[in-house]
Structure 1
């Protein structure tokens, strides 16, 4: 299956190059990470406004939902949505399926590399990750729970 033109993407595992195109050598679907902003939360899910797919900004509004069971890979029954996200947080997530008319895309943060990448404290400062489940305000030193993403080098800007 032809996936992309070689100038648009970098080939990885499970693909091969032929005549300037990247082809899949495995069955499945292409998977992209996306960046979104949490707009609201409740005990069952977090609503997200999708801002970027990969590094491409979106011109139209797309919405997604991160269900409680899709927040992390382990101990799913112990997840508390309000301890994972807050409105305004910027998250790195993946699309797991096209949802229904109300939720649009179903998203997941159930990988170590996915979760909150930017959060602001009540004091207005950008918080610093201190563990996989906490961030701290540099001004007040207040700690808040989050599902923190372990950001990979390709997402860091110099």
Structure 2
């Protein structure tokens, strides 16, 4: 049977009345939930009810894996630790913004909503959250940012970008983009 439905950790798949839990799922309060990102499979294995599982598609590499470099758009800055609930969301924790002086990181001086960021996947997440990301390497961080005037800013150091119209400077964790990540 071929994969049918894409799901992420925490997605409710069905009731235990309808299916038997297989791999990649967990039970809670009489319902079966996905414990990983992948495809939902239902198979009749000689039982009364079909077995429901979640499997990863390894051949197509449709989803990022640990160690993958991903391009992300910052949608919100959350000073707390509440994970975002939407599909394929990632979190860059304060301690994963940069490699040194982690205790001095101020998130609003590293990223702003709307920024485009290169990050590395450090965890596929679990039931409570989705991807965990890091920008702690020099090559990772903000690659595109717009000033309050709406102009695309230019990096001037590893921690600042400047608006070409107003010449105003804003703090960011700037990526030192490597040639393999640039498109011609």
TM-score by length of 2: 0.55
CA distance in 1, matches of 2:152, 2:17: 35
CA distance in 2, matches of 1:75, 1:41: 20
Compared with structure 1, are the counterparts of its residues 4 and 135 closer, same or farther at alpha carbon in structure 2 (3 Å cutoff)? farther
TM-score by length of 1: 0.64
Query: Is 1:108 aligned to residue 142 of structure 2?
Result: no
**Structure 1 equivalent of residue 35 of structure 2:** 25
CA distance in 2, matches of 1:12, 1:123: 53
Compared with structure 1, are the counterparts of its residues 79 and 59 closer, same or farther at alpha carbon in structure 2 (3 Å cutoff)? closer
Q: Which runs of 4+ in 1 moved over 4 A?
A: 2-29, 54-61
Match of 2:171 among 138, 145, 156: 145
- Consecutive unaligned residues in structure 2, runs of 5 or more: 1-11, 40-71
Contact 2:35 2:127 in 1 (8 A): no
Compared with structure 1, are the counterparts of its residues 16 and 120 closer, same or farther at alpha carbon in structure 2 (3 Å cutoff)? same
- Name which one, 1 or 2, has greater alpha-carbon Rg: 2
- Please list, as runs of the form range in 1=range in 2, the aligned pairs for 1:1-158 lying within 5 A after superposition: 38-43=74-79, 61-158=87-184
RMSD (Å), alpha carbons: 10.6
- Consecutive unaligned residues in structure 1, runs of 5 or more: 44-53
Contact 2:83 2:91 in 1 (8 A): no
Q: How many residues align?
A: 141
- Whichever structure has more strand as a proportion of its residues is 1
